[in-house]
Each structure stands twice: as structure tokens, then as C-alpha cells.
């Protein structure tokens, strides 16, 4: 029988005293079964931690979120510069007419300000299309009442009824408007009707008084040769005291001069 060298004896001794050798002897079926299950488990665990802590954060840019600034009330061109600096993109979802807001101003945004976003996110804006403009219809030759109906249909309001003179049109019809027919003005803007005075000086037209102060209404009625009639008060906390809430005759009504107009005015209590 050949003798083993010392180095080989040492090697065999180390193997017998190796990893779990006392409980799982080398070459035993029990050791093989444990290693077949343990080795894949260790590999899968390592892969999981690598994917979760290294790979996925890189792909999803985890940790790079930042609060979205507020762009409402800014011009779109100004917001675009900041969006480029933050590596964000944008889309104009819609444009809406907005009285008093210049064209191109951002009305709303999605996501809202303060939302956590990542670079590359698309921000959607609703942008002001400015004030809607209306073309003044041609009201020449119409009665005052019909002219008022046409103004209301067009989305415009009566500004004032003033006198004009015309030899080609009947009395008490609209001669022209100010601004003139065909002009474009903002939706809801007032239009002055110039009515043919003719030779009859015994009638006048009721002006619009609602929304004026009582002193303003008195002055305007006097200029139209009308008078203030019965004044009643009504509580209205949405209006300043002595604001005209109602008038007994509608604006544009034809009346004899010196007719009294009853008024309802706001009261603080």
C-alpha cells in the first residue's frame, strides 16, 4: 500500500474539517441536497439586492424627484425657459377665453404645483386665449328696443343712449353706434346708441342705472331730463351702500321728459 505524502494528508484533513463538515460530511447525500438549495438561494438573494438597490434606481431615477414649481399666472414663454432648465416637457392641453387675462398666460397646470416629479415629465397647461372679441352688429335704422335685443344677443351691453340728428332716418331709431358697426370689442363691453332726435323734444330714453351709486344715478337721470322717484332700500352685503340694485323702468325705455324713475338701493343692514 502506497504511503501518503504529508501534504496530501494535510489536504485531506482540511477537507474533513471544512465548511459544515461535522454536520454535512463530504460526499454525503444530505450535504448535496443542502448545497443544491442553498446555493441558488444565495444567488437569487444577491441578484435581488443588486436589482433593487442598484439597477432599478438607475432605471427609474429613484431619489431624483423634486417638487414641481407653480407656473399659474406666468406667461407660457417664461415658464418654458424654467421647464427646459429642469429637463421637463410641456403640452398646451387647451386654450380658454379669459376676461382680463392676457393671451398666453397659464390658467392651470397638471400636475399641480408641489407634486413630486422626475426629469422628463410632461406638464400640461391650460392657457389663456385672451379676451374674446365681438364684432358690433349694424344697428342703424332699428328701434331702440330691437337694438338692445341685438346687443344682448351679440354678448354686448348698452353703454348709453345719446341723441343724434338724421334727415334720412325716422325719428326714434338708431342712427349709428359708438364704437361703430363692424368694430371688434371685448365680450361684454358697452356700446353707445346714437338715436335720431328729430323734431320732438318731449321724450327721452331711460339709461342703465343698475350698478351705479345713487349720486351717479341722479346725475345721469338729470342729464336725460328724468327725475328720481321713490327710493327703497334692500339689504345686500355684496354691494357698497347706496348702490342701485333695481330701476322701475328698463334701460332703453322711451318716456316723456320729467318722468320719475323709482329705485331700489343697497343697504348695509
Beta carbons of 143 and 193 less than 8 angstroms apart: no
Is 31 inside any structural domain?
no
pLDDT average, residue stretch 12-27? 56
The pLDDT, as a whole number, for residue 35 is 65
pLDDT average, residue stretch 240-263? 91
Q: How confident is the model at residue 29 (pLDDT cuts 50, 70, 90)?
A: low
Q: How confident is the model at residue 1 (pLDDT cuts 50, 70, 90)?
A: very low
pLDDT average, residue stretch 154-177? 87
Residue 61 has pLDDT above 80, yes or no: no
Q: How many domains does the chain have?
A: 3
The pLDDT, as a whole number, for residue 51 is 67
197 and 221 part of one domain: no
The pLDDT, as a whole number, for residue 89 is 94
Is 95 inside any structural domain?
yes
208 and 196 part of one domain: no
Is 44 inside any structural domain?
no
Is 88 inside any structural domain?
yes
The pLDDT, as a whole number, for residue 100 is 84
Say how far apart CA 227 and CA 260 lie, in whole Å. Answer: 5
221 and 192 part of one domain: no
pLDDT average, residue stretch 90-98? 92
Is 57 inside any structural domain?
no
Residue 4 has pLDDT above 50, yes or no: no
Residue 88 has pLDDT above 50, yes or no: yes
Chosen domain end from 176, 201, 226: 201
**pLDDT higher at 82 or 10:** 82
180 and 154 part of one domain: yes
Is 56 inside any structural domain?
no
Residue 224 has pLDDT above 90, yes or no: no
Is 194 inside any structural domain?
yes
Q: Which residues contact 147 (CB under 8 A, 6 or more apart)?
A: 139, 174, 193, 252
Chosen domain end from 95, 113, 128: 128
The CATH number of the domain where 82 resides is what? 3.30.10.20
Beta carbons of 138 and 182 less than 8 angstroms apart: yes
Say how far apart CA 208 and CA 158 lie, in whole Å. Answer: 7
What value does the mean pLDDT of the chain take? 84
As a residue count, the chain comes to 269
Q: Which domain holds residue 150?
A: 132-201
The pLDDT tens digits for 196-211 are 886 556 778 899 999 9
Q: How confident is the model at residue 253 (pLDDT cuts 50, 70, 90)?
A: confident
141 and 115 part of one domain: no
Is 162 inside any structural domain?
yes
Chosen domain end from 128, 161, 178: 128
Cell triple for 124:
400640461
Residue 15 has pLDDT above 70, yes or no: no
Share of the chain above pLDDT 90, in %: 54
Amino acid at each position: 500500500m502506497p504511503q501518503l505524502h504529508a501534504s496530501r494528508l494535510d489536504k485531506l484533513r482540511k477537507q474533513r474539517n471544512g465548511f459544515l463538515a461535522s454536520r454535512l460530511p463530504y460526499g454525503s447525500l444530505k450535504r448535496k441536497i443542502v448545497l443544491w438549495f442553498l446555493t441558488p438561494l444565495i444567488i437569487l438573494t444577491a441578484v435581488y439586492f443588486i436589482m433593487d438597490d442598484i439597477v432599478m434606481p438607475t432605471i427609474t431615477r429613484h431619489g431624483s424627484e423634486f417638487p414641481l414649481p407653480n407656473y399659474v399666472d406666468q406667461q407660457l414663454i417664461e415658464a418654458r425657459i424654467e421647464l427646459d432648465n429642469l429637463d421637463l416637457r410641456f403640452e398646451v392641453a387647451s386654450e380658454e377665453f379669459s376676461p382680463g387675462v392676457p393671451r398666453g398666460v397659464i390658467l392651470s397646470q397638471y400636475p399641480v404645483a408641489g407634486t413630486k416629479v422626475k426629469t422628463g415629465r410632461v406638464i400640461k397647461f391650460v392657457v389663456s386665449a385672451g379676451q374674446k372679441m365681438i364684432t358690433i352688429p349694424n344697428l342703424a335704422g332699428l328701434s331702440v328696443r330691437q337694438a338692445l335685443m341685438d346687443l344682448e344677443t351679440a354678448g354686448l351691453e348698452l353703454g348709453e343712449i345719446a341723441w343724434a340728428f338724421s334727415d334720412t332716418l325716422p325719428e326714434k331709431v338708431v342712427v349709428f353706434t359708438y364704437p361703430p358697426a363692424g368694430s371688434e370689442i371685448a365680450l361684454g363691453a358697452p356700446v353707445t346708441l346714437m338715436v335720431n332726435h328729430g323734431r320732438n323734444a318731449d321724450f327721452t330714453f331711460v339709461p342703465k342705472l343698475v350698478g351705479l351709486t345713487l349720486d351717479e344715478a341722479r346725475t345721469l337721470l338729470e342729464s336725460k331730463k328724468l327725475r328720481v322717484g321713490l327710493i327703497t332700500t334692500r339689504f345686500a352685503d355684496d354691494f357698497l351702500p347706496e348702490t342701485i340694485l333695481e330701476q322701475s323702468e328698463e334701460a332703453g325705455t322711451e318716456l316723456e321728459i320729467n318722468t320719475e324713475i323709482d329705485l331700489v338701493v343697497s343697504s348695509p343692514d
